[in-house]
Amino acid sequence: MCGIVGAVAERNVTAILLEGLKRLEYRGYDSAGVALFSNAGVLERRRRVGKVNELEQSLAGDPLAGRLGIAHVRWATHGAPTEQNAHPHFSNGELAVVHNGIIENHESLRERLQGLGYVFTSDTDTEVIAHLLHHKLRDIPDLAAALKATVKELHGAYGLAVISAKQPDRLVAARSGSPLVVGLGLGENFLASDQLALRQVTDRFMYLEEGDIAEIRRDSVQIWTAAGLPVEREVVQYREGAEAADKGEFRHFMLKEIHEQPKVVQRTLEGRLGQEQVLVQAFGPQAAELFAKVRNVQIVACGTSYHAGMVARYWLEGLAGIPCQVEVASEFRYRKVVVQPDTLFVSISQSGETADTLAALRNAKLRSPKEGGFLASLAICNVGISSLVRESDLTLLTQAGPEIGVASTKAFTTQLVALMLLTLSVGQVQGSLEPGVEAELVEELRRLPTRLGEALAMDSTVEKVAELFAEKSHTLFLGRGAQFPVAMEGALKLKEISYIHAEAYPAGELKHGPLALVDSDMPVVTVAPNNELLEKLKSNLQEVRARGGELIVFADEQAGLNDGTGTHVISMPHIVDALAPILYTIPLQLLSYYVAVLKGTDVDQPRNLAKSVTVE
């Protein structure tokens, strides 16, 4: 998704801006650009379709230099990914603007500004911001003050940064619905949509809050709230993640992140397990009192995080006896929802900035419990400073560390761990768990990092299996019970990074339609732990074999499934059934990774996708 970097310094900032853009590449984008207030006293810009590399090469051949600048990577929403539509956008050669988000009323603003004589050179919604600000500057000469007046007329979401040739000692910024962070240097200051972009120049940050306007000069930062009142934002020293922007010994970030799972699962459990119990206070001081009141759980999330929620439904209902509904945020946010009394709203998100999930949370908070609203909100999130965390009543942070690969891997397994902690906490407080279950699962959770390590040791076996997929165009993924969402996640991974069409079904649904697709060209991937559904699953697998379908089965070592013609069984270490969804995710991640490598796709930045979907 789009990314912003800005800098005001006494040195040339071109290299800082380019390095910042490179660090944002993981978010997914289709063009890149930079604008500088040049030493000749004018605004100059360079934009390129494609990777930051191409922008860098162009600048190497024909350099731009300046001590004030903004830069952007764009993921097209309004207007095709062309050079004309790439940011920064100019107004009258005097202003340059970069913008993340969507301006919903851009059409009416465009008409009005055209009526005032402004000429548009792009199809973007962003260009209206540049011209509207230019227009405001006629009556309000100060750049920050004019920006305050401008954003009052914008509907939608934005994180934006502006520089002006007439006030070249500052850059100004505004945040509403799209994150921005100020980086503090010595005699120089910076701005970015993600602190990772600025890690090479500083480790001190100020996070802008919703509605904030900022004026950033070399030696000062001034911030105003949406109401126009001056405000101080806390300075945060950022240490974590220094190693995250480095692939280390691995060929791709995705593979590195898959292999980090034992470590980050361990971290997610740290300080949250007692001798035989989950420590409920890990969810916050008021969690125990709140969990005692919970009669229902509503989970809302997108993509991989939604799949984690689907697994949690089996756990909350099966282990804790709490009714649970799960819905994708883009549907939930626009639905007239009937809320059962005492329902806990749980949002799950790696980034904590996903537009649909945030909007769903905001809608959920509109009504108090007395007005038929939710009891409270809980965020399961990987980013402690995210909007989702700030706006929720309770939080449990997954400790996955920064995830760079667009395809979510370690975020998913740590979400599952967090959701198991939630299940056991609610069950514990309500006394609804079967005797001994909590102590057994706490013990098994402690062993989980080792189990994940064992599954990762299957790396080269799975790499071989991947060869079966290299020439295929379609696949089916099957699972039963809590393994059905695992199959969904496996299918999502395969389609997003290898571009092979993959569908997931509960294995029992096969004969109600999808079986018609099965032939020798359709590999069928199945996850088969040793549980009470195993015999049923085996019958479903027979249905596939009888139609000539090739089976790839990740099966418990005690499942009694063996290799045979058209059947490839990959033996998995035994694990207690409740934690099987976490373990069986690992070979599916490895499978999609190795298929993508064989197909030669861009594993870490698959086409058309963005890491954090901050627009609708």
Cβ proximity to ligand AGP: between 361 and 441 the closer is 361
DSSP tag of 573: -
Stretches 4-12, 29-37, 406-414, 596-604: which one binds ligand AGP (CB under 6 A)? Answer: 406-414
- Report the distance separating Cα 523 and Cα 474, nearest Å: 7
How many amino acids of this chain bind ligand AGP (CB under 6 A)? 15
Please state the closest distance from residue 156 (CB atom) to ligand AGP, in A.
19
Give me the 496-515 binding string for ligand AGP, x by CB under 6 A, dash otherwise.
x-------------------
386 near ligand AGP (CB under 6 A): no
Candidates 102-110, 161-169, 237-245, 296-304; binding stretch for ligand AGP (CB under 6 A): 296-304
What is the closest distance, in whole angstroms, from the C-beta atom of residue 408 to ligand AGP in the complex? 4
* Least distance in angstroms from the C-beta of 207 to ligand AGP: 17
The least distance separating ligand AGP from the CB of residue 488, rounded to whole angstroms, comes to: 11
CA distance 282 to 293: 18
Residue 246, C-beta contacts closer than 8 angstroms, at least 6 positions apart: none
Rounded to the nearest whole angstrom, what is the least distance from the CB of residue 612 to ligand AGP in the complex?
A: 5
Confirm if 9 and 60 have CB atoms less than 8 A apart.
no
CA 311/CA 416 separation, integer angstroms: 8
Question: By CB under 6 A, is residue 413 in contact with ligand AGP?
Answer: no
Q: Which is nearer to ligand AGP, 43 or 411 (CB)?
A: 411
Count of C-beta atoms within a 10 Å radius of residue 250? 14
Applying CB under 6 A, among 357, 413, 475, 526 the residue interacting with ligand AGP is 357
Indicate if the alpha-carbon torsion angle 414, 417, 421, 426 is positive or negative.
positive
Q: In the sheet where 213-217 sits, what is the strand order? A: 89-91, 95-103, 156-164, 170-176, 213-217, 221-224, 230-231
Q: Which C-beta is closer to ligand AGP: that of 188 or that of 496? A: 496
360 neighbors 331 (Cβ within 8 angstroms): no
Q: Give 354 or 428: the residue with its C-beta nearer to ligand AGP.
A: 354
User: Does 350 participate in binding ligand AGP (rule CB under 6 A)?
Assistant: yes
Binding segment toward ligand AGP, per CB under 6 A, in 47-55, 262-270, 303-311, 430-438? 303-311
Q: Which is nearer to ligand AGP, 402 or 529 (CB)?
A: 402
If you ran DSSP here, which 8-state letter would residue 94 be given? T
Asked whether the beta carbons of 34 and 90 are under 8 A apart, the reply is no
The residues, any chain, with a CB within 8 Å of residue 383's CB and separated by 6 or more, are 350, 351, 352, 353, 389
Nearer residue to ligand AGP within complex by CB, 296 or 354: 354
Q: Which is nearer to ligand AGP, 16 or 613 (CB)?
A: 613
Residues known to be catalytic: 2, 611
Positive or negative: CA dihedral 329, 334, 335, 337: positive
In eight-state DSSP terms, residue 64 is -
Question: Do residues 36 and 23 make contact, with C-beta atoms less than 8 angstroms apart?
Answer: no
CA-closest candidate to residue 575, choices 536, 541, 527: 527
Which of these segments, 94-102, 298-306, 317-325, 464-472, binds ligand AGP (CB under 6 A)? 298-306
Q: How are beta strands 95-103 and 501-506 bridged, if at all?
A: unpaired
Between residues 59 and 355, which has the closer beta carbon with respect to ligand AGP?
355
> CB under 6 A: which stretch of 185-193, 302-310, 315-323, 368-376 binds ligand AGP?
302-310
Residue 612 interacts with ligand AGP (CB under 6 A): yes or no? yes
Long-range Cβ pairs for the range 400-403 (8 Å, 24+): 400/260, 400/264, 400/268, 400/350, 401/240, 401/241, 401/244, 401/260, 401/264, 401/267, 402/196, 402/240, 402/241, 402/244, 402/245, 403/257, 403/350, 403/611
**CB nearer to ligand AGP: pick between 302 and 426:** 302
Q: Is residue 585 a contact point for ligand AGP (CB under 6 A)?
A: no
195 touching ligand AGP, by CB under 6 A = no
What's the min distance (Å) between Cβ of 383 and ligand AGP?
Answer: 8
Choice from 191, 221, 537, 613 touching ligand AGP (CB under 6 A): 613
Residue 150 engages ligand AGP in binding (rule: CB under 6 A): no
| Euclidean distance between CA atoms 127 and 91, whole angstroms | 8
Q: How far is CA 221 from the centre of its chain?
A: 29
Which span sits near ligand AGP by CB under 6 A: 26-34, 143-151, 314-322, 343-351?
343-351
End-to-end CA distance of the chain: 11
Q: Which residue's CB is nearer to ligand AGP, number 22 or number 611?
A: 611
The tokens of 131 are what? Answer: 């011209």
Instruction: Kindly state whether residue 354 participates in binding ligand AGP, applying the rule CB under 6 A.
Output: yes
Which residues 457-496 are close enough to bind ligand AGP by CB under 6 A?
496
Q: How far is CA 277 from CA 418, 424, 426, in A?
A: 14, 8, 12
Residue nearest to ligand AGP (CB): 303
Per CB under 6 A, the list member of 407, 429, 486, 533 interacting with ligand AGP is: 407
**Among 3, 6, 20, 303, which residue sits at the site for ligand AGP (rule: CB under 6 A)?**
303
Residue 349 interacts with ligand AGP (CB under 6 A)? yes
Residues lying near ligand AGP in the complex (CB under 6 A) are found at 302-305, 349-351, 354, 357, 406-408, 496, 612-613
